[in-house]
Chains A and B, each alone.
Chain A
Amino acid sequence: AQKVTQAQTEISVVEKEDVTLDCVYETRDTTYYLFWYKQPPSGELVFLIRRNSFDEQNEISGRYSWNFQKSTSSFNFTITASQVVDSAVYFCALESYNTDKLIFGTGTRLQVFP
Chain B
Amino acid sequence: NAGVTQTPKFQVLKTGQSMTLQCAQDMNHEYMSWYRQDPGMGLRLIHYSVGAGITDQGEVPNGYNVSRSTTEDFPLRLLSAAPSQTSVYFCASSRRAPYGYTFGSGTRLTVV
Contacts and interface: CB of A to CB of B under 8 A. Distances in A.
Interface residues of A, number: 21
| Chain B residues touching A, majority SS | strand
Nearest to B105: A44
B79 interface: no
Interface in A18-61: 33, 35, 43-45, 47, 50, 52
A14 interface: no
Contact of B98 (A9, A95, A104, A106): A95
Nearest to B90: A45
B19 interface: no
Which of B48, B58, B100 gathers the greatest number of chain A CB atoms within 10 Å? B100
Size class of B's contact patch? 20 to 34
A43 B13 CA distance: 22
Nearest to B98: A33
Nearest to B102: A47
Contacts of A88: none
Contacts of B103: 44-45
Contacts of A91: 42-43
Contact of B97 (A33, A45, A103, A104): A33
Interface string B15-54: 0000000000000000101010000111111001010000
Interface in B83-112: 88, 90, 92, 94, 96-103, 105-106
Interface of B: 31, 33, 35, 40-45, 48, 50, 58-59, 88, 90, 92, 94, 96-103, 105-106
Interface of A: 6, 9, 33, 35, 43-45, 47, 50, 52, 91, 95, 97, 100-107
